[in-house]
Structures are given as structure tokens and as C-alpha cells.
Homo-oligomer: A and B are copies of this chain.
Amino acid sequence: MSARRPPTLEDVAARAGVSRATASRVVNDDPRVRESAREAVTAAIAELGYRPNRAARSLVVREPDSVAVLVHEPDQRIFADPFFGGMLRGVSQRLADTPLQMVLLMGEPARDAARMERYLRAGHTDGVIVVSAHRGDGLMAALSETRLPTVFVGRPLTEGPAFAYVDVDNREGGRIAARRLIERGCRRIATITGPTDMAAGIDRLAGWRDEMTAAGLATDAVEPGDFTPQGGTDAMRRLLAAHPDLDGVFVASDLMAAAAMAELQAAGRRVPDDVALVGFDAGAAASMTRPPLTTVANPVLEMAVRATELLLRLMRGEEVQPEVLPTRLVEGGTA
């Protein structure tokens, strides 16, 4: 017992007094093994502490074994936003009954893009789910070069190759939010948008514009946010300074909405009496405020599951179509 080499199937076979082939059959649950042989092998495995070498296995049975989830966001956001937790959860859930493993690639666009790209190019993985892609982060080009099956969560903003994606109907969500504020009697309605380099930001704003224009209301009270609480606070402050007469705000995420609401209250405005508020996401943050947020549903878990489903189909070589999930208003007490 000098060279502390981990036991191989060969060792197991020797100890059990069978051939490597039979030992392999036991490990892989092949039914064509006599019970006594099976027991001997099982015992040998236990005694030796044998663990199959995955590399050797996958060298032979060439089949996909992992899916990468790419999260391309600055630290701060991943930290705070339950969106990502839900995403991972959904992917993991759908993958549970497949042999595929979920490999997480996280990083800031600027700092880690090169490393991520290198990893993807190296072919360590068999499919990619991109969560929250931004316009122009160079990722799309790199991805389409790798020819890896890829699904985006959130419509990718790209001129180039068409990627499969799953998204919620953000534009309709924006309309729903604006409609509620208008029907409530608000006339000076502002919006805090998401990042303007993401489809979620652009589309929610567009929906809000649709409805505002249809109602003949001004659409000039627009402040960009970045989906973080701090961004919500700042945007609300700017909004109050520029449009002190506002009586309704559509905030493109609950996290920002909660922060914006705190800012409103700090400025002495009552919610919803002075200013009505509609958020977006209907996540945990919505129920943590007082009153709870009126907000637009964002089926995060479902998107994750659907995206994974699409990816699995893509990996089987099937054609897929983008999916856009419906949304609806979730009642709270802020509008």
C-alpha cells in the first residue's frame, strides 16, 4: 500500500473475483448479472471505496453531461435580486430528472467576459442558458461561434443570429401597469424603467408608452433605473424633483419599487393616496412593503423551466420557437 492510487474497476473486479466487464455491469445496473456476482462486486466496491472515474466513462459514452447557466451581471444585483435565485432554482428543477449537471458561470460583463468565453469555447459544456443578457456585451457573437445550443431568458437584443429565448410579455406588462394607474384616475404618471440595454427595460417602457399615448397622457416623466434598490431610490428622487406633481408611477421592478416607495414616503407622499405605485415581478419584495405592492406578475420559475425545456430540445437537435409567457396584475395596496 504505497502509491495511494484510487481504486479502479479493475481492482474491484479482482477483489470480487470477476472480470472488469462484470464489475462494470454491476456498476451500471445491467440486469444480466447473477445475484452472487452482484453481491461480491457491491461488497468489493464498498470495501475499496471505489468511485467510478467520470472522465473515463464519458470518454466512451459520448453524451452531454452539463449545461451552463450564464449570469452576466454586476455583483450588486445578483446579490440582492431574487430573480436569479428563482432562475437557478427553475433550471435545477427541470434538470433534476436528467443526468445533466448545472454549471454556473457568474461574472461581471467587463471583468469576466473573457474567462467565460474561454470556458464556453473550451467545450466543457453542452448547452447554455443565458440569464439577463445586455445589448452589446459581445456575448452573442461568441456564443454563436461556439455553435453550442443556447437559450436566452429574456429576449436578446441582437441584429445578428436568431437565438431561442423565453420571455414574459413585458410590453403587455407595461400596458397593464399603465392601464391600472390610468383607470385609478392618475393623470401625471411617471415611470422608472429597467436598464435600457435589456429587452425587459425597453419593452416594459414601450408598453407603458402605448397605453399612456392611447389615453392622451404625457410620456415625458421617464427615469432610467437599473433594477437595484439604489437605482430605484435615485430615480424616484430625480422624478420628484423634475415632476413634483406626479400622482402615479410604474416602476419596472419590485426591488426598485420598494425603494422608490420608501423614498416617496420619506418625501411625505402617501402611497397610494398621493402617489399610486405599480411594480413588476410580484416577487417576495412585493409583499414586504407596507402596503404590499400592486405589481405585474413575472413568472420567473416558469421561465426558467421553459428555457431549460427549450434547451433540452435544442440539444436533441429539434427546432424550437421563442416562447413568450403571459402576465397579469397582482393586486396589492399601492394602486
A binding-site residues for B, Cβ under 8 Å: 49, 51-59, 66, 69, 75, 78-82, 84-86, 88-89, 92, 96, 101-107, 112, 115, 119, 121-124, 147, 229, 255, 258-259, 261-262, 265-266, 283-285, 287-290, 292, 301
Most buried by B among A49, A54, A57: A54
Bound complex: CA A81 to CA B283 (Å) = 11
Inside 8 A of A105's CB, which chain B residues have their CB? 92
Bound complex: CA A135 to CA B107 (Å) = 33
Q: With A92-B104, A121-B51, A122-B52 given, is the CB distance from A86 to B79 under 8 Å?
A: yes
Inside 8 A of A101's CB, which chain B residues have their CB? 103, 119, 124
Q: In the complex the two chains form, is A123's CB within 8 Å of B288's CB?
A: no
Q: With A288-B258, A288-B262 given, is the CB distance from A104 to B124 under 8 Å?
A: no
Q: In the complex the two chains form, is B89's CB within 8 Å of A106's CB?
A: yes
Q: In the complex the two chains form, is B229's CB within 8 Å of A287's CB?
A: yes
Inside 8 A of A86's CB, which chain B residues have their CB? 79
Inside 8 A of A82's CB, which chain B residues have their CB? 79-82, 85
Q: In the complex the two chains form, is B112's CB within 8 Å of A96's CB?
A: yes
Bound complex: CA A255 to CA B80 (Å) = 11
Most buried by B among A85, A96, A124: A85
Bound complex: CA A117 to CA B108 (Å) = 32
Copies in the complex: 2
Q: Is the interface of A mostly helix, strand, loop or mixed?
A: helix
- Sorted nearest first, the 10 A-B pairs with minimum C-beta distance are A51-B123, A80-B284, A55-B58, A92-B106, A262-B290, A55-B59, A55-B55, A258-B288, A78-B85, A104-B104
Most buried by B among A115, A259, A284: A284
Our pick among B80, B96, B283, B290 for the contact of A85 (Cβ within 8 Å) is B80
Q: With A59-B55, A266-B290 given, is the CB distance from A284 to B79 under 8 Å?
A: yes
Bound complex: CA A81 to CA B285 (Å) = 10
Q: With A102-B103, A288-B285 given, is the CB distance from A54 to B229 under 8 Å?
A: no
Q: In the complex the two chains form, is A79's CB within 8 Å of B75's CB?
A: no
Bound complex: CA A255 to CA B283 (Å) = 13
